[in-house]
Structure 1
Amino acid sequence: MSGILLLTMYAGCKDFLDVIPDNVATIDNAFTLSTEAEKYLFTCYSYLPPDGEISRDPAVLGGDEYWMDRAFRNFDQTNMQIAMGLQRSTDPYAGLWPDMYKALRDCNIFLDNVRNVPDLEPARMVRWEAEVKFLKAYYHWRLLQMYGPVPVMDKTLPISAELGEIQVPRQPVDSVVNLIVRLIDEAAPGLPIEILNRKEELGRVTRPAALAIKARVLVTAASPLFNGNTDYAGLRNKNDQTDLFNQTADAGKWERAAMACKEAIAACEEAGIELYRFNDPVVQLPDGPLKTQMDIRNSICQRWNSELIWGATKWYGDQTLQRYAMPPLNPNFPDNRSNMGQLAPTLKIAETFYTKNGVPIREDKTWNYAGRYTLKVASDADEPFIQQGFTTAVLHFDREPRFYASVGFDGGRWFMRDGMYTVFNKVGETQGKKGNEGYSSTGFFSKKLVNWNYVIKEKQDISVESYPWPIMRLADLYLMYAEAINEWHGPDADAYNYINKVRERAGLKSVQESWSLFSTQPTKFATQAGFREIVRQERLIELAFEGRRFWDLRRWKTSVEELNQPLMGWDVLQDNPEQYYRTKLLFNQSFRVRENLWPINQNDMLINPNLVQNTGW
């Protein structure tokens, strides 16, 4: 329980409640009418973490997907301190501890009182109770994901509670997971299968969303970070020496995760949720490379599209995120470039995407991996992806559709509703560095995050169509299912089926066909270890720039390997191809095992002596 929360609770609970003008806490009034209780319901929703909010979500700037020039002073780059290995236990960066415990207290108050609202219809009461029970599970989950074993807040403590009742120790990982799963299982039957009142209720939780989050929780609980992790062998509670991490990996947890994924997929099918396909009533695109790119891009940017299981409406793909992702694309307005294009993908992310044959660039026996930084001139056959006659790096040629849908680059083609553009990113060019204005420090842009209705106008004017940030979408769930099956007992027909659904939408052949025909390891997909590597890379590609890589690397315990590599980009301050396409060191990342989990704030440790700090902090 939060140290901040502990102090205020012990002094009195009123500080965490909305108050009316005469400073009387509204707890006595909040549940006298359904209209007031609904306000309290929305208060419980208001604590949802800032996923996708560029300056507050650590999964955006805290990993290795992006780099921003630290000379840019017009933007809060605090979370880059995490990417630079500078996390701290005194006032940790991007921590959720106090906010989540405030949220849990409000959720508990709501659950204690909602059945007492005299004019609340039974059906609404059942749904509201289910929503808040899910939110209570979700806030515990977000604490678990960030801190590991945490104190649980399963009931409201009275003002008269003794100090010993408030200074709650941490619970073992498995106990926290079981609490979360129990709450979601209790909530799910009372949640709607889909939102019918789309005008007023989009963003509220549904049964498919709750079950998909349950699947994510169980997949994470079965992963190496939380399943038999000996890095935390000595992490025990002070008083009773309870082990907070199980020390023996349990394959049965993967079975449980796989069954949760299957249950969530069934709920999504019942709700009509399906992989998105581009279908604009005005712009009709024939089947081909551009249509495939739009299938991929708009699975993120199309508002409330068919693939979205749960989207965040508080923090979303708004003007700030899109402006930092988008270069000053329109050459007719060269002066409208303030802050644009600074959210720059790193070279390692560009190299993560497959070749056009659907296998890693290191493995494709037909692709020139050793010569990927050499120069090549684009022909008319390359024109859907690269400007004809443009000289650019071999790295940009013959890549899979998700590369061209997700990443903008010098010479690359960029389709928007108002036309097709080419990126010219060398110094002094339309999208390149000019004076002290913002620019891509790597030579790449986050095309995937930019809605195709984004319009650049005169001066500093732009038109942006926002979209809900995808907390969970169907492709993510499909890939979790494939991963869970493989970790449970090795790849089977279902594992291949669900990864291939995602690949087919991305314009790729099946895993079996791609590896058999083009990989230097043609039977890789047939083994558990080989398919593990495949499904992990598939996730890193399909979910690139969506905040999933940050957490996946931690749960897989591959973060020490991945986040101790140099961050590289092109030499973007050059004006000719021979110099521009030299790789340039941006930063040498340094990551330690302890950074897989957040430190608990030292102030909270002082307030609650029953808390133990995470290992290494």
Structure 2
Amino acid sequence: MRNLKVLKYSALTLISSAFFSMNSCSIDVIPQDRYVEESIWSDPSTIELYINGMYAEVKKFQFGVFPGLGYDNAMDALADGMKFTSNTPGNGTVNILISNANQFSPASVGLNYWSSAYERIRRVNEFIGGLKTKSQLSADDQVKYEAEARFIRAYTYFWLAKLHGSVIIFNDIAQYSTKDNPRSSEEAVYDFMIEDLDFAATNLPKSNKDGRAGKGAAYALQSRVALFAGSIAKNDKKQFNTDPLTGISQAKANAYFTKSAEAAQATIDLGLYELDADFQSIFTNKKTKEAILRVDFVAPTVTHQYDLGYAPPKDALGNALVYGVPTAELVNEFEMKDGSTFSWNNPDHAADPYANREPRFYASILYNGASWKGRTINTSIADVNEGFIQFGTQGDPKRTVTGYYAKKMLDPTNTNFVVNKSSQSWIELRYAEVYLNLAEAKAQLGEFAAASTALSTLRAKRSLPAASLPNLAKAMEVIEHERTVELAFEGHRFWDLRRWRKAHIELNGKRMTGHKITPEGTGFKYEVMPADASDRSFTGKLYYLPIPELEVQVNLGLTQIQGW
């Protein structure tokens, strides 16, 4: 996927920016000093550049980044599977946010995507309007490009909806002639996204280009969106917010779960994707068939710095930044090789805690004694460069505060990432998630045999025994576990806890932990240690984050979400 950075609202400036930031592209445009809108819409190559540039929205969230918050995997650090190591503003901003719910306010939203999202939505709407009124493309090509644009619009709205629930719907350029626009209901926002994705799935080609949406991406995203809507309809029950525009009618829950299941099954029925038996290679193999939509990088011109941020310190002679590390809570979730539950209370497990674990454990976690890049990882206190250090004892320790490092998505062949940077792809939509969505939606509909089949299909590819989901309570327990492990470090956990309305239970009044590992005789002693300096804070109020204060001030039709 090419990387295009766009700076202004207009289609003309968008195209101009795309030309100057695109790699290895030479297109002659007359006149040379400016871009005439009519020539843009008459030239298919510039239209292609326009829509290609729109995918920069997906890139904003690559590797679990949240725009403006900080670093890769910041979204996982908002939940319980990753701990950011720093306690200073900047590197440690995530830790500041999770420690005090009062950090969120209309004046300081904490997770602010509003203006960036609406800038993208406006560009998408301008593009669709130009297609219909100025383009000389064939009717078929117009529909195809509109489908792609509406996919991006739905993707953008989904982030807004996850944050605020009730937001402003813009679906036509004529709306921009009105300065003051009100919020729509949360239910209407989700219906709008689903409608866009229906159009996209119907009109996009079955086989998609690298980094571009096709039918599979539209169906997969729709499955995700509808699952969120169904979860909110079922779980919110207006417990946390009295705003009349937030929340979704409980009566619609099953309709959304049905839509999610249908979209997931439609993705599978395309026959384009496969679950990969080699879990670790999924995230470094650009040809993996698990990737439904991905962001590609090509060294040395288009790179990222994920390895620099997450590799163990000795990978870079002490120069690795180690933004975040896995918590003991996540590590303990990984099953034994035979599918049984790992437990520190089991003497055999505790004696050798990292032996005979499931394949995803070895692909996701660097633990004490792990083999990595031709050496053995030592996270015990005996290693002053890579070993455990208590959180808070240094401002930016740049080493593990839990006894673990994140292995998943690191490139084991990149031995000089300080100079070379990194080029593994970011997978935004992965086929495994489709099976997880299908299992959950079917379970919520009471179709437990179908849910068990979907989840067992995924587990079989992970060399684990089939799952039994006999009732809803058990099904959700197993599915939550499976999503935690399968999707670790991919930015899902925080948002899952929010849609299940469990974040105030799992992320409030608790401290995540790690393992202080001390050499003892011929083995090691594992001591549970807090990885947080204070209790975490997540109140029910945070399920609907405030709209930035400035937006309410300049838009007289926009009211703040009640409670803020």
Sort the TM-score into its range (normalised by shorter chain): 0.7 to 0.9
Give the Cα–Cα distance (whole angstroms) in 1 for the partners of residues 258 and 62 of structure 2.
Answer: 29
Alignment partner of 2:123 out of 71, 94, 106: 106
Deviates more, 1:32-41 or 1:169-178: 32-41
Mapping 1:31-110, distance limit 5 Å: 31-48=41-58, 49-52=60-63, 54=65, 55=70, 58-70=74-86, 76-85=91-100, 86-110=103-127
Task: Identify if the C-alpha distance between structure 1 residues 249 and 84 changes in structure 2 by more than 3 Å, giving closer, same or farther.
Answer: farther
Hey, what's the Cα distance between the residues in 1 that align with 2:317 and 2:268? 44
Count of residue pairs brought into register by the alignment: 524
Instruction: Quickly say closer, same or farther: Cα 1:15–1:191, change in 2 above 3 A.
Output: closer
What SS does the aligned partner of 1:254 have? helix
Q: What residue in structure 2 maps to residue 349 of structure 1?
A: 330
Assess if the C-alpha contact under 8 Å between 2:298 and 2:423 holds in 1. Answer: no
Question: What is residue 379 of structure 2 aligned with on the other side?
Answer: 425
- What is the deviation of 1:503? 0.9
Deviations 1:147-168 (A, max 9, x none): 1121101111366x3xxx3322
CA distance in structure 1 between the partners assigned to 2:397 and 2:238 by the alignment: 48
Q: Report if the CA contact (8 A) 2:235-2:501 is conserved.
A: no
Other structure's SS at 2:538 match: coil
Shift of 1:354: 1.7
Q: Deviations over 1:163-193 (max 9, x none)?
A: xx33221111221122111111112233121
Q: Does residue 512 of structure 2 align to residue 567 of structure 1?
A: yes
Q: Provide the secondary structure at the position in 1 that maps to 2:249.
A: coil
Residue type of the alignment partner of 2:286 = R
The structural deviation recorded for 1:329 is 5.3
What is the rounded CA distance, in whole Å, between the counterparts of 1:174 and 1:545 in structure 2? 29
TM-score w.r.t. the length of structure 1 is: 0.76
In structure 2, the partner of 1:209 is 217
Separation in 2, partners of 1:538, 1:158:
43
Are 2:425 and 1:412 equivalent residues in the alignment?
no
Label 1:329 to 1:17 Cα distance change in 2 as closer, same or farther (>3 A): closer
Paired residue type of 1:442: T
Contact 1:407–1:448 (8 Å) recurs in 2: yes
Contact kept, 8 Å, 1:225 with 1:554, in 2: the verdict is: no
Q: Identify the residue that residue 521 of structure 1 maps to in structure 2.
A: none
Residue 453 of structure 1 contacts residue 465 of structure 1 at CA under 8 Å; is this kept in 2?
Answer: no
Pairing 1:168–2:173 present: no
Tell me if the contact between 1:173 and 1:246 (Cα under 8 Å) persists in the aligned partners.
no
Rounded Cα–Cα distance in structure 1 between residues aligned with 2:159 and 2:114: 9
Instruction: Output aligned runs, 1:364-383, within 5 Å.
Output: 369=345, 376=351
The aligned runs of 1:494-505 (5 Å cut-off) are 494-505=450-461
1:234 aligns with 2:219: no
Number of the residue aligned with 2:480: 536
Cα distance in 2, alignment partners of residues 356 and 307 from structure 1: 23
Match of 2:255 among 252, 257, 278: 252
Asked whether the equivalents of residues 12 and 36 of structure 2 are also in contact (C-alpha less than 8 Å), the reply is: no
3-state DSSP of counterpart to 1:310 = strand
Match of 1:548 among 472, 489, 492: 492
Find the counterpart in structure 2 of residue 290 from structure 1.
none
Deviation at 1:251, TM superposition (A): 2.9
Distance 1:442 1:504, change over 3 A: same
The answer to which of 482-491 and 47-56 deviates more is 47-56
Q: Does 1:486 align with 2:446?
A: no
Q: Distance in 2 between matches of 1:315 and 1:100?
A: 27
Instruction: Name 1:220's counterpart in structure 2.
Output: 228
Q: 1:136 to 1:224 in 2, by over 3 A?
A: closer
Taking the aligned partners of 2:356 and 2:349, their CA distance within structure 1 comes to 14
State whether residues 293 and 427 of structure 2, in contact with CA within 8 Å, keep that contact through their aligned partners in structure 1.
yes
Equivalent position of 2:26 in the other structure: none
Using the size of structure 2 for normalisation, the TM-score is: 0.83
Q: CA RMSD in A?
A: 3.4
Q: Percent identity?
A: 23
Taking a change above 3 Å as real, the CA distance of residues 315 and 247 of structure 1, as seen in their structure-2 partners, is farther
After TM superposition, list the pairs within 5 Å mapping 1:115-514 onto structure 2. Answer: 115=132, 120=137, 123-157=140-174, 161=177, 165-195=178-208, 201-224=209-232, 229-232=237-240, 234-236=242-244, 245-246=248-249, 248=251, 250-267=253-270, 269=271, 271=272, 273-277=273-277, 295-313=278-296, 319-328=304-313, 336-361=317-342, 369=345, 376=351, 394-414=352-372, 416=373, 419=374, 421-427=375-381, 429=383, 431-432=386-387, 438-456=398-416, 461=419, 463=420, 465-492=422-449, 494-512=450-468
Shift of 1:44: 2.4
Distance in 2, matches of 1:27 and 1:15, equals 6
For 2:204, the aligned partner's letter is L
Q: Per-residue displacement from partner, 1:563-614 (whole Å, max 9, x unpaired)?
A: 1221111236x66689862222121211111222322111112222433333
| Distance across 1 between alignment mates of 2:117 and 2:364 | 33
Q: Which runs of 5+ in 1 are unaligned?
A: 1-7, 196-200, 238-242, 278-294, 363-367, 377-393, 513-524
- The separation in 2 between residues aligned to 1:70 and 1:204, in whole angstroms, is 36
Cα distance change on mapping 1:244 and 1:446 into 2, 3 Å? closer
Give the match for residue 391 of structure 1: none
User: Is residue 297–residue 303 contact of structure 2 (8 Å, CA) maintained in 1?
Assistant: no
Q: Point out where structure 2 has 5 or more consecutive residues left out of the alignment.
A: 1-7, 18-30
* Closer/same/farther in 2, CA of residues 89 and 296 from structure 1, 3 Å limit: same
Structure 2 CA distance for aligned equivalents of residues 307 and 600 of structure 1: 36
Please say if residues 323 and 398 of structure 2, whose CA atoms lie closer than 8 Å, have aligned partners that are also in contact.
yes
Which residue identity lines up with residue 426 of structure 1 in the other structure? Answer: S
Contact 1:30–1:36 under 8 Å retained in 2: yes
